[in-house]
């Protein structure tokens, strides 16, 4: 990746190929994103091991891992702590922490050791205005072709909304699978937006209700997409 003159790597953007790296994790060495070809991946960073907000997030991610897996999505975590710290922290979570009804939670997805901060810097996870020694709560959605599709950033003090992370994943997959867009606050089962009309004739037909669409104007048309149809195409049984 092109380097800026001050030796800061520019943050990858939506539509870019996910930067490649090799790393040691709690589940062995990984070659990213090549090892995950064919699957969606959520690559996320957290500030530090043995911290309460991060603990609540890892417990939630671990409890939802199977749900993400059914949507063909794998989880990969990262912090700038070392491997042994990771292992001790994850063991502590399983043996001692109970939160919101979650207990005996085993984190099975890989947690990257990034003491050098090389990976964190490669993905723009170090935000000097927030902290120069800890990664912010970054989230990268990477598709089966290794392309970055969504980027979310949260500060150190704010835990992530996991309903939104899952909703975003399903929305991305729905857009790909059905050639549609999802409106504000979309949930599976809600109406979806069809692409704008490509000609005056098509726009006229839409406005006359000939395409089984609901059109509010020529550029804003929706159609029904049942939740069952979405999940039948996306979710593994």
Annotated binding-site positions for substrate: 137
Could you give the 3-state DSSP secondary structure of residue 88?
Answer: helix
What CATH number is given to the structural domain containing 184?
Answer: 3.30.1020.10
Rounded to two decimals, the pTM is: 0.90
Same-domain check for residues 117 and 28:
yes
Same-domain check for residues 193 and 101:
no
pLDDT per residue rounded down to tens, the chain (237 residues): 444 444 456 789 999 999 999 999 999 999 999 999 999 999 999 988 999 999 999 999 999 999 999 999 999 999 889 999 999 999 999 999 999 999 999 999 999 999 998 999 999 887 777 766 577 899 999 999 999 999 999 988 899 999 999 999 999 999 999 999 999 999 999 999 998 765 555 656 666 665 678 888 888 999 999 999 999 999 987
Residues 6+ apart with CB under 8 A from 123: 11, 12, 19, 43, 45, 138, 140
Annotated binding-site positions: 137
Q: What is the pLDDT of residue 4?
A: 42
Q: Return left, alpha or beta for 31; rule: phi > 0 is left, psi -120 to 50 is alpha, else beta.
A: beta
- Evaluate whether residue 172 is within a structural domain: no
Q: Which domain holds residue 44?
A: 21-161
- Of these residues, 54, 73, 215, 221, which one is catalytic? 54
- Evaluate whether residue 9 is within a structural domain: no
User: Is residue 215 among the annotated active site residues?
Assistant: no
């Amino acid at each position: 990746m092109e380097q800026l003159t001050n030796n800061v790597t520019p943050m990858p953007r939506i539509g870019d190929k996910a930067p490649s790296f090799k790393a040691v994790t709690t589940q062995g060495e990984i070659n990213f994103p090549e090892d995950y070809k064919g699957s969606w991946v959520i690559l996320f960073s957290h500030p530090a091991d043995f911290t309460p907000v991060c603990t609540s997030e890892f417990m939630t991610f671990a409890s939802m891992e199977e749900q993400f897996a059914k949507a063909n999505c794998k989880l990969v975590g990262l912090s700038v702590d070392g491997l042994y710290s990771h292992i001790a922290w994850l063991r502590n979570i399983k043996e001692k922490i109970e939160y919101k009804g979650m207990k005996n939670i085993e984190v099975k997805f890989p947690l990257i050791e990034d003491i050098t901060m090389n990976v964190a810097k490669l993905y723009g996870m170090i935000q000097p205005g927030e902290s120069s020694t800890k990664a912010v709560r970054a989230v990268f959605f990477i598709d089966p072709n290794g392309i970055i599709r969504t980027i979310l950033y949260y500060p150190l003090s704010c835990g992530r909304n996991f309903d939104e992370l899952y909703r975003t994943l399903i929305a991305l997959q729905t857009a790909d699978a059905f050639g549609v867009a999802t409106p504000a606050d979309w949930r599976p089962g809600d109406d979806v937006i069809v692409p704008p009309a490509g000609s005056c004739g098509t726009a006229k037909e839409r406005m006359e209700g000939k395409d089984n669409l609901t059109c509010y104007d020529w550029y804003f048309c929706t159609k029904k997409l049942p939740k069952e149809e979405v999940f039948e195409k996306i979710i593994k049984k």
